[in-house]
Structure 1
């Protein structure tokens, strides 16, 4: 394109690297058994703030560290340190690249911890004013947490990071919901290396004054979506006879899932697909199954006790992921009791080998919410995993991957069209007259179905009052408490003219099978921000 424009008389460079201001050289050092480059925390913060001007008094930083393989045919992997705040797109603090993970966690974190301690003392200067900052959370999967905290891996007897429970061996290490002698771990004991059966050595994060107990979020993307939910479905598909479903049952579930394809609102990145492709499901699909499609397609297929057990996890995660602070805090104690019930009951339903590290850690998720005082979605790996995929696509060949990533990022920063994208605060992006994108929960808890959009911005809707709906399930709790309801007949709705600002939340409206006892639709209010990842 540059060559064509030059022939037309435009004064442009011959090489795109000149136009994009690609740096000629990226400085890397040999460190931790591979190559390493440090970019900095402050520089990343200032870059984000310059793109999103506004008054900022304090920054709560979240960090993510994880390994990502670059190629299928080699062991080459990249371990970046990522940071974000206020739901902005993450930025890179440092990158390590080698044939394995860094061989020294102290050397790997040394530059990062040195700058972080200085920033916590002095803050970062932007617009002539010093902005204070603090570390909100480290958000990593279990292997990365074990690496950073210098503790035993998640398959060890003393693997739990929040309590002193000891696992038992039954073909694999399993942990129950409770143990009489188990007590919560404390920061003082961790710093003093009291848990010698749990810790390998003192973590450099503890030395730097960073909490290694509650300062690390139990990431629900890995723990629940890719952990517990996937494990449940695999046990239903090919587990013990006590929980294994027949071929006809699995086919019925798959057919129902496929029939829901195209029924979910466009805020969802993926539509449902059958159990035949279970091994290729992504974390968002397991989350979607747990919160929305699973309660519908498993109804009348699973035994009542198994279905109630599945709904227990659905209710727990609906509470912990809800952005409504009042509702979440009101039912937090109930969610804590329900997680204990889920873990204890899982042994009876799925067998003794089901309750591994991920299943036991469910009992500590409510404590995670209580500590961070926010929805689990605000301390999850989803935005970081999305950004890791972006970084991986920047590497085109195995020669010097760090330089390739650094050059692509510099080109994006120099571009006038590049801006970091914040997660939208609005609950929905599209309002239409279709059932897929036209069902909403109003401020007064009624449900509105959009029938006409007027030029003045008002909406003609069919409104069904909350009192005219039915509970979709009543065990382990009444689904109406979570605004999950069943509507048998949409014709009973009353026509009303409402304004857009009264649309509180978008609603997933899923049709039930046409049997006499299960006709109608099930309405699931979307949990704020969860579906956008």
Structure 2
């Protein structure tokens, strides 16, 4: 594009508001186009060029073809700027010498003398050229209108993409139905200038088809493990930087999705030991009950997992990162389902030791003979050899036969969320509120505790997921509320209300769990040993205070918590809390 013509147009455009450089370029291109396309005058010499315009007031602009011209500078009284002077005249037959300058009195604009642009290079540069340009103001205004429309169109396109992104985010945050979302989009199309689709599925880029596999008991959809591992790597790089190894944690659990029937989801979720909140769904099963065959349900997941463990994950940078399945984190029913072992109501249901339960007062219980008794622990080797057949193992798990370096005993830690919070703590409160007469608190005592908990609501910081609720509502409490009661509010509200022997017994559990959830204290093995002894004392005194028949599967499992802490770290590292939280988001996304 000719630079000198650009300056000419720029000086004229300074009088116009909101005239961008893009408008100026369009105007200059129009200058060159007219220069090339108009008829030549017969009155000019062979090498003179005159562009004829319609019969309206015109201006003759003298353009020098000499490249070494230095224009004389004159002070413009109107704007105070030093501008070059050029020739403006209405005499089309005027003859000018090369590099000669004239001043204009017809308008207050000034133009720079310069060579013609590349579109005019075919002409003889040794002669003076005359260019007649009609109504420059009209040309600028026309181009301004056209370019303003183009800029508005580009701005609308950019704004439209931003609006679409905001609408998608709004839809997922507030979980609107597709029907209501589509209805809103149609209203937008009527009153807004954005080219939005009429259907929500188009805006959300919903896949037109999803590969769903029919398996025994329902249907299964596999989303892919590699995609999830890639997302885990990105999340780890943001949190910890360099990655030497990926320690996957796997969670499998049932999610009821209907109150009127047994319809439920069984998602396969993975995370990483060092990630506190991030959870990724690999696959989902839907049916009216759990899958009939666990190996068929896990087949696609295992087929992707095994190559990753053997070969590692190849990143986009060409780096191979080792992948390990470190832990299978499940509650007792899901764990027995996946590993093909006895459920928590069986005599030999403990996944860590070979204790055999007793049947007392129509209950299965696991009492200890001594306060610091030790049990025969199970081993990965015996499990893989199927030595616990009939008493504990009732089938061959795909994890045992297919997944390398996975211990079906050592790599299946006890879940602190279900064992301690929803298990032992809930059981204690149940005994205090609804238990036998010799254990149950007076209604007035329950009211006092509830009032204290409600009073604490105004002092509860945002660090807690929920504010305390009345003790009378404990059946509706979530796992985080039982954890809050055990670690923070319980020792305060139970003081002077609960009998001293029961209160002291509760404090033993409070102190031991407080140690095991503290990532700093467990770095010292003496604290882990001390916590283990406290838990042994708690379990033994539990059967003396509450009765042997109440030592349930969860109460017994307290004896094995410290071993898992030694391997994995603090209890929250290998708990199911983040997976349970993700279940809530999955359920919110469900639409009929």
TM-score (norm 1): 0.72
Asked if 2 retains the 8 angstrom alpha-carbon contact of 1:60 and 1:134, the reply is: yes
CA distance, structure 2, for counterparts of residue 25 and residue 178 of structure 1: 60
Which residue of 396, 401, 410 maps to 1:207? Answer: 401
Shift of 1:35: 0.4
2:343 aligned residue: 153
CA distance in 1, matches of 2:425, 2:494: 13
- The answer as to 2:299 corresponding to 1:103 is no
Distance of aligned partners of 1:207 and 1:327 in 2 relative to their CA distance in 1, 3 Å threshold: closer
Q: Give the alignment of 1:9-28 within 5 angstroms.
A: 9-28=193-212
Partner of residue 75 from structure 1, selected from 262, 265, 271: 262
Change (3 A) 1:302 1:136: same
Query: Normalized per residue, which structure has more helix?
Result: 2
Pick the aligned partner of 1:121 from 310, 313, 318.
310
Q: How far apart are residue 169 of structure 1 and its match? A: 0.3
1:322–1:328 Cα contact (<8 Å) kept: no
Could you say if the C-alpha distance between residues 315 and 325 of structure 1 is closer, same or farther in structure 2, counting changes exceeding 3 Å?
closer
Q: Distance in 2 between matches of 1:93 and 1:21?
A: 20
Which residue of structure 1 lines up, in the alignment, with residue 352 of structure 2?
A: 162
Instruction: Deviation per CA, 1:174-202: give whole Å up to 9, x if none.
Output: 00246778411111111111112111122
- Residue-pair matches, total: 396
In 2 relative to 1, CA 75–333 (structure 1 residues): closer, same or farther, beyond 3 Å? Answer: same
Aligned residues of 2:353 and 2:375 also touching (Cα < 8 A): yes
Deviates more, 1:253-262 or 1:224-233: 253-262
Tell me how far 1:353 sits from its aligned partner: 2.1
- Tell me the CA shift for residue 17 of structure 1: 1.9
User: Is the aligned partner of 1:30 residue 2:214?
Assistant: yes
Give 1:82 deviation, angstroms: 0.2
Gaps of 5+ in 1: 398-533
SS at match of 2:548: coil
**1:476-498 deviation per Cα after TM superposition (whole angstroms, max 9, x unaligned):** xxxxxxxxxxxxxxxxxxxxxxx
1:184 matched to which residue of 2?
Answer: 377
TM-superposed deviation, 1:46: 1.5
CA distance in 2, matches of 1:138, 1:369: 15
Larger radius of gyration between Structure 1 and Structure 2:
2
Aligned residue for 1:188, secondary structure, equals helix
Alpha carbons of structure 1 residues 325 and 132: separation in structure 2 relative to 1, 3 Å = farther
Q: Of 82, 93, 97, which residue of structure 1 is paired with 2:282?
A: 93
Which residue is equivalent to 1:312? Answer: 508
Show the counterpart of 2:87: none
Query: How much is the aligned-residue C-alpha RMSD, in angstroms?
Result: 1.7
2:197 pairs with 1:6: no
Choose the corresponding residue for 2:493, options 287, 297, 305.
Answer: 297
Kept after mapping to 1: 8 A contact 2:333/2:344: yes
User: Gaps (5+ residues) in structure 2?
Assistant: 1-183
3-state SS in 2 of match to 1:62: strand
Q: Tell me which protein shows more strand as a share of its residues.
A: 1
Alignment partners' CA distance in 2, 1:325 and 1:336 = 13
Residue 136 of structure 1 is matched in structure 2 by 326
3-state SS, counterpart of residue 346 of structure 1 = helix
| SS in structure 2 at match of 1:35 | strand
Cα drift, residue 9 of structure 1: 2.3
Residue number in structure 1 paired with 2:574? 379
Cα deviation for residue 376 of structure 1 reads: 0.7
Displacement of 1:4 in angstroms is: 4.4
Aligned residue in 1 for 2:117: none
Following the alignment from structure 1 to structure 2, what is the Cα–Cα distance between the partners of residues 132 and 310? 43
TM alignment of 1:360-375, pairs within 5 A: 360-372=556-568, 374-375=569-570
- 1:216 is paired with a residue of what secondary structure? coil
Say whether 1:255 aligns with 2:448: no
Q: CA deviation at 1:107?
A: 0.8
Q: Is the Cα contact below 8 Å between 1:165 and 1:181 reproduced in 2? A: no
Q: Secondary structure at the match of 2:329?
A: strand
Equivalent-residue separation in structure 2 for 1:202 and 1:295 (angstroms): 45
Q: Is the Cα contact below 8 Å between 1:70 and 1:76 reproduced in 2?
A: yes
Q: Contact 2:339 / 2:397 at 8 angstroms: preserved in 1?
A: yes
